[in-house]
């Protein structure tokens, strides 16, 4: 999983892997909310920053889904 996340992080030009995860969650069709469970200022700022900026492609989103073990059809 880390390899896939790192590759996508580099493709998107992001600083941290957690930004990739936030973008993945925000791209989900159900429009979920993120509960960070942290008081770490930097992580909160990265989550907020992930709402805008460069967008993850569908291909990138599905790469993560498949790497997580979801089987398509």
The backbone torsions φ and ψ at residue 69, rounded to the nearest 5 degrees and listed phi first, read 105, 0
**Pair of tokens at residue 62:** 């599905």
Give tens-digit pLDDT for 5-40: 999 999 999 999 999 999 999 899 898 888 888 888
Domain limits, the chain:
2-67
| Res. 72: pLDDT tops 90 | no
| Location of structure tokens 């909310």 | 33
Predicted TM-score (pTM) of the model is: 0.85
Instruction: Compute the CA torsion angle 52, 56, 62, 63 (nearest 10 deg).
Output: -120
Q: What is the pLDDT of residue 46?
A: 87
Torsion of CA 73, 30, 14, 17, to 10 degrees: -70
The pLDDT mean for the chain works out to 92
Residue in 68, 61, 2, 52 with CA at minimum distance from that of residue 27: 61
């Amino acid at each position: 999983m880390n390899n896939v996340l790192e590759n996508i992080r580099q493709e998107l030009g992001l600083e941290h892997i957690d930004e990739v995860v936030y973008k993945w969650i925000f791209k989900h069709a159900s429009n979920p909310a993120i509960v960070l469970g942290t008081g770490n200022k930097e992580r909160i700022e990265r989550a907020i920053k992930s709402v805008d900026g460069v967008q993850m492609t569908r291909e990138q989103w599905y790469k993560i889904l498949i790497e997580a073990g979801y089987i398509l059809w």
